[in-house]
Structure formats: structure tokens, C-alpha cells
Structure 1
């Protein structure tokens, strides 16, 4: 159980730590390091709670609140995003302070009523709306599709504190609350995985939102998202990373992801690896059936090319390959090159399936005809090596 942690005078983290969760959004997103559900209490002349926690952790949130205030004193409950992992404790909190004013976007209001079917005092806010708590104020910034239509940010200008809900977050359970208390590479790795698997499709909107925030002249000293650690030492680090990821330009790097039945497709994968490596670029190789596909997508975030391989079974790809292809179609990573490869026995089909799915994902397909029957010959493997060198030259310039 997490205890309240002060971000500043009268401002507290009051959320919960989920040490045991291993999948998010059903089985779609692996969370081997757990997560946190972050909620923030601001105690001023008026008292506000920004976001709640996942329903099973409502007791922890209430315990944290009671250690600081009598919850009946809450004047405002701000719901930045209605997804259950953030709003699940909403009814339990409102039972303690039924006269509190609930602030959310119009889509947020629709979501709260649909989920919980209860009437409270609601106020819809829009970008630029401000409420005063006394010495501090709350300013609201709508952020639709980052990552739901209802999403918004809450900003405390007097503190330079941005509360952006799911933006800038990571799935990371830790007793530490701040970026300067955890390993930098670890937290950035989780932040990249979070962006790649949740925010990839909205990259153009993220670019626009970052530009909008810059034009608003917001001074951001601290970023307190709703999952993972709070960025207080160097919040510009994660802002700059988001700006870079949103450009979808990548770097001289390739991903090889494959599965194999009797080793033929695997031999092709290693030949491609050899050619790409000889071309002087970074390469990551994954056997899909024994890999976390969310990690594969994370590595694709800053890669320029993806090679996907599978032997043919029933005129299709191996079952382990299909979920990764489905993810790519949904995430639509931009500015990527794609190559399909694989072996077959008496009839092919997997390569065509992969190419069609890559095209549906808006990935530029290089039709290299890397399909072999039975076992790749030395010449086949040479073709793989040569193509690897060719792609390395193309993306490494």
C-alpha cells in the first residue's frame, strides 16, 4: 500500500501501487513491472482531487485521503479521463463527498454517466477554463484522443505542475514516486513501451498538442501522469522524447520478427540479420512465439524497417504471428519500411498475408519475393544477406 507523498506544499500523491498486474487492456499490453494508479490531492482554501484509481484500489485511495483530510471537505473532483483504471473509484469517492463539484469534458460527462449511471453536480470545462482554489488555480486543457475522446490535462500555473493523465506515463510499480529516484534507462524504456503500444496511432495529435502547449507559454516544472513515476528532475526529457517519437522518423535501425516451424524461416531471419549488421545499422531480432510482442512494438518505435517472417500453414501465417500483425494494423506506425519473408512446403501464402497486413498498417512494403520452398539454399540465404545490406544502406544514409 502506498502512502501519501508530497509534491509540494499542500499537494500530494494519494494513489495506489499495483504490484501484481501483468496485462493491461485485457491481454493486449504486458506489464511485467506492474503499474500505479496516480491520483493527486490539492489542499488550499478549496480542496480538489485530480483523478481517482482503479476500483479495486478505492480503499487505498480513501485511506490516503483520510490521512490528510476529511474527504467530505472535497470541493472538486477532476476527472481527466473516464477509463476504468482512473475513474473506477469515482462512485466510492462521491459517496464520501456527494456535494463536490465534478469537473470533466463533455465526453467525460457522457462517459461517467454511461459507466456509473449516477447524478452528481457536474460542470463541463473546456480549454482555457480556470477555477481558483485560493493561492492556486486549476487550468484545463482538452486533449481529445490522447488517448480517448474525453481526455484532458489539468495544469496548476502557480506550481508549474502539469497533470496530464495518461500522457507521459509508464507502467511501473515502485515505492519511488519521482524520476530522480529510479533508474533513468528503466523509466525511459517503460515510457517508450507505453507510447509505442498506446499512443502510436495518435502521433500527429501529440505533435499538435505539444505545439499548442508551447504557444500557451506554459511553464512546466513537474509532470505528474496517472501511471508510473512523476517527472520532477527533468520533465523536458520526456517532452522531448514525445516530440521525437511523434515525428515517427526513426533512426538507422531494423527489427526482424519471425516464427519458424522446422527452422527454414529462422535461417532466413539470421541471414537477414547478418546482412543488416554488415550494413552498419542497429538490428533487433525476435522469435515471436517466445517474445513479448509489446517489446517488439517498443523497439519498432525508433526503427525505420521491420522484417516479418513466417512459414505457411493452411495458406496463412503461423498463429503466433497474427497478433503482431493485428497490432501493427491498429497502431499504424508511420514512416516505416516493411519486408515479408518465409518458407513453405507444398503451398505458400504466408508472405502474401504479411504484405497485405503491412499495407493495411500503412507501412511501405518492399516486395522482395523472399519466399523459399522447403529449405533455403546457399543462394537463397545470399539473397537475404544482400537485401539486408541494401536496406541498411537505404535507411542508414
Structure 2
């Protein structure tokens, strides 16, 4: 697995064929560390999933530039409208003249159509976009883990689920790709922070994701994970359904 390092601690790792994890460690007030990950799919129509916070644009753009020219970006995708998901969207649109924001219909209607400097490509549930050798499938996941407009992307060739805030792991330094348990640490963090919406539809949506049989989970915070994604997603459904934090 290829690894590149940038000044300041940002790392670039290929977690699946031409799918790169860009990870930046950040120290938060109180001494708590956290990582912010973006995923770049390098193909004929390259896709960046998550932009990172606006303040991270210089280092994320530099990281993308280590793999391919930034101005080649064709799509800039994200799960929902939040600063670490799309804070640097307009900065990337400025340096990538052919790039389009890629999001769900609800996000386009309530936020992105107004915020973005170019109109978004708003995807329907289950719509697929070809990137060349890779393709991505949009999956509506409203309120999972949070936000009405939430959705995820499945890269179908490599069975990589770009899973945003699912399986969030605390801490600023993680292996880029692990086969170790990420459910226990991510659930411990969820119980502490309680950032899930606890929608009654969580199990059905997680089961739908499990049926796609993802082999890699591209987490936004912490390590990406490789293994039987269906088993892990169903275990998350059990934990969310039966082990919700108390009010």
C-alpha cells in the first residue's frame, strides 16, 4: 500500500485500487485529537468525497495534487451539509473549472443550490455515476447518522462504501486501513457524544447497506476498514437499536 506524508502530518494512502485516503490529524481544545479524512477516486472523471474544513483546503488540495492535478477534479461529493463535509467546496470549485458538487436531491434543495458557486448535480436515490473504470451509487440515508439530507456513496467496482460519519473513531492518528474491530471504539465515541439522530428507520437503512456487501468502509474519522462489511453494518444496527445512549 502506497503511503505519502506531507508537512503537518497529513498522510495519503491507497486503500483500494486508485482510491486514496487523505487524513489530517487535528488537535482540538482540551487536548482531544481527531482526524479528518477525504477520499479521492482517481479515474477519468475524478471524484473527491468530503472537502474537509475550509481551513484545511490548502493541505487537502496539496494532497490531491500529489496524486493528480487538482484542476482535473470532475466531482466533489459529500454526505450532508456540514463544515467538515463541504466547508472547502467553493475553494475546490475555484481551482477545478470542470468540477460539479455531487449530493442528494434534498441537500441540493435546502443548502447546496444556494451555497455552491456552481449548480450541484443532484442525485436520486440509487442513481449511479460513472467515473470511468469506477462508478459510484448514491444511497439516501436520511438522519443516518444525522441530517435530513444525508446520503452515502458506494463505489461498485471495489465494493468501497464511502460511509461518512458511520464508525467514527476518536483520536488523531490511526492506521490508514485496518481489519481490527472498529465497532467497539466507534460505539464508545457515539455513546459519549450521541451524534446519531436515532431515527426509527436506522436498521432498515443499515440492512440495505449491508446487502451491498461492502469490502471496504471508508470512514471519515479514523481508520478505513477492510473485511465483511455486511457483518459489521448489521452489528452496528444491533448496537444502535438495543444500546442507544440514555437521554
TMscore range, shorter length = 0.7 to 0.9
Q: 1:3 aligns with which of 6, 11, 15?
A: 11
Alignment of 1:191 onto 2:199: no
Task: Summarize deviations over 1:251-289 as a string: whole Å, max 9, x none.
Answer: xxxxxxxxxxxxxxxxxxxxxxxxxxxxxxxxxxxxxxx
**Cα 1:233–1:33, aligned 2, differ >3 Å: closer, same or farther?**
farther
- In the other structure, the counterpart of 1:71 is 70
The answer to whether the 8 A contact 2:76-2:102 is kept is yes
More RCO (CA 8 Å, sep 6+): 2
- In the other structure, the counterpart of 1:219 is 213
- In the other structure, the counterpart of 2:128 is 130
Instruction: State the aligned residue count.
Output: 236
Measure, in 2, the Cα distance between the counterparts of 1:192 and 1:53. 23
Measure, in 2, the Cα distance between the counterparts of 1:87 and 1:118. 10
Measure, in 1, the Cα distance between the counterparts of 2:99 and 2:147. 25
**Cα 1:171–1:113, aligned 2, differ >3 Å: closer, same or farther?**
farther
Measure, in 2, the Cα distance between the counterparts of 1:53 and 1:203. 26
- In the other structure, the counterpart of 2:104 is 105
- In the other structure, the counterpart of 1:142 is 140
Measure, in 2, the Cα distance between the counterparts of 1:157 and 1:223. 12
- In the other structure, the counterpart of 1:235 is 229
The answer to whether the 8 A contact 2:143-2:199 is kept is no
Measure, in 2, the Cα distance between the counterparts of 1:66 and 1:75. 14
5+ residue gaps, structure 1: 24-31, 251-300, 302-330, 334-360, 362-397
- In the other structure, the counterpart of 1:158 is 157
The answer to whether the 8 A contact 1:203-1:246 is kept is no
- In the other structure, the counterpart of 2:4 is none
Measure, in 1, the Cα distance between the counterparts of 2:58 and 2:170. 21
Matched ranges for 1:343-382 at <5 A: 361=247
Measure, in 1, the Cα distance between the counterparts of 2:200 and 2:116. 36
Alignment of 1:206 onto 2:199: no
RMSD in angstroms over aligned alpha carbons? 2.2
Q: 221-230 or 195-204, which moves further after superposition?
A: 195-204
The answer to whether the 8 A contact 1:100-1:121 is kept is no
TM-score (norm 2): 0.86
- Distance apart, 1:158 and its partner CA: 1.1
Task: Summarize deviations over 1:325-361 as a string: whole Å, max 9, x none.
Answer: xxxxxx6x4xxxxxxxxxxxxxxxxxxxxxxxxxxx4
- Distance apart, 1:22 and its partner CA: 4.2
| Deviating 4+ runs (over 4 angstroms) | none
Alignment of 1:39 onto 2:34: no
Higher percent of residues as strand: 2
Alignment of 1:14 onto 2:10: no
**Cα 1:21–1:234, aligned 2, differ >3 Å: closer, same or farther?**
farther
TM-score (norm 1): 0.55
Measure, in 2, the Cα distance between the counterparts of 1:233 and 1:36. 22
- Distance apart, 1:113 and its partner CA: 4.7
- In the other structure, the counterpart of 1:318 is none
**Cα 1:236–1:101, aligned 2, differ >3 Å: closer, same or farther?**
same
Measure, in 2, the Cα distance between the counterparts of 1:73 and 1:169. 30
**Cα 1:219–1:235, aligned 2, differ >3 Å: closer, same or farther?**
closer
Measure, in 1, the Cα distance between the counterparts of 2:90 and 2:23. 16
SS at match of 2:64: helix
SS at match of 1:40: strand
